[in-house]
Amino acid sequence: MDAIECIKTRMSIRKFKSEPVPEEVLLEVINVAKWSPSYKNTQPWEAIILSGEKKEALSKMLIELLESGTEPRPDLEAPTSWPAPEGARIDHLFKTRAAATGVDLSDPVNVKKGKKANFRFYGAPHAIYLFQDASLTLWSLFDMGLFAQSIMLAAHANGLGTVPQAFVTDYAQDVKEFLSIPDTKRLVLGLSIGYPDMESPVNTFRTDRAQTDEIVKWIA
């Protein structure tokens, strides 16, 4: 798979096969992703790959925290508002996904169901948590984004599926304690990874993209 095809055909997967991915394949994904660019080659990323009973125990803990009404406390605060163009794209996503799947993402009941699906890592056999030193400036989040994108592309090139997940960082302190991540670290992102179940209806929905002239200006 060439780079252009890989970028254009990658998609977020929300239903996985239970079949585990061989460790050497997961390591190959990370070995490729670690070549991502970073400011002054700081490489400000660390990862934990979860599988098996440990992953299931984490899922159980996260769902219990949700059901108990525990207030989310992510290391990165969730946005509370959006500028008009970005907000319009979110509204469009909700409408098109509701039309395609029958699920209204603005309904609090569906939001809770969606969080539970996130906490179960969509049935994926593995989960990846990305974190970095909390003393790093927010600039280093840009580098982490590059690393996360590289993981997703390398996974796709190896026949795997992924989905980046902010919800699984909702209870950052609890997750860090569970995974023995020092409190000096910032929990940035979670990802589900495994073989995609492309027969599942949930994986037939694809998001669209803005027209190029909406995001690019030519100056000569």
Residues 123-175: pLDDT tens digits?
999 999 999 999 999 999 999 999 999 999 999 999 999 999 999 999 999 99
Asked whether the predicted pLDDT for residue 212 surpasses 90, the reply is yes
Give the pLDDT band (50/70/90) at residue 28.
very high
Confidence check: pLDDT of 100 > 90? no
For 3-24, write each residue's pLDDT tens digit: 999 999 999 999 999 999 999 9
Q: Could you tell me the fold of the domain covering 3-75+85-204?
A: NADH Oxidase (3.40.109)
Q: In what helix (H) or strand (E) does residue 133 lie, and over which residues does it extend? A: strand 126-133
User: What pLDDT band is residue 186 in, cutting at 50, 70 and 90?
Assistant: very high
pLDDT tens, position by position, 56-69: 999 999 999 999 99
Contact 33, 176 (CB under 8 A): no
Instruction: Determine whether 93 is exposed, middle or buried from the number of CB atoms within 10 Å of its CB (0-12, 13-18, 19+).
Output: middle
Q: Which residues contact 161 (CB under 8 A, 6 or more apart)?
A: 11, 13, 16, 124, 155, 193, 194, 195, 196, 203
Give the C-alpha separation, 45 to 210, whole Å: 30
Determine the 3-state secondary structure of 42 from DSSP: coil
The answer on pLDDT for 103 being more than 90 is no
Q: Determine the Cα–Cα distance for residues 155 and 50; give it in Å rounded to an integer.
A: 16
Q: Residue ranges per domain, the chain?
A: 3-75+85-204
Rounded CA-CA distance 158/25 in Å is: 8
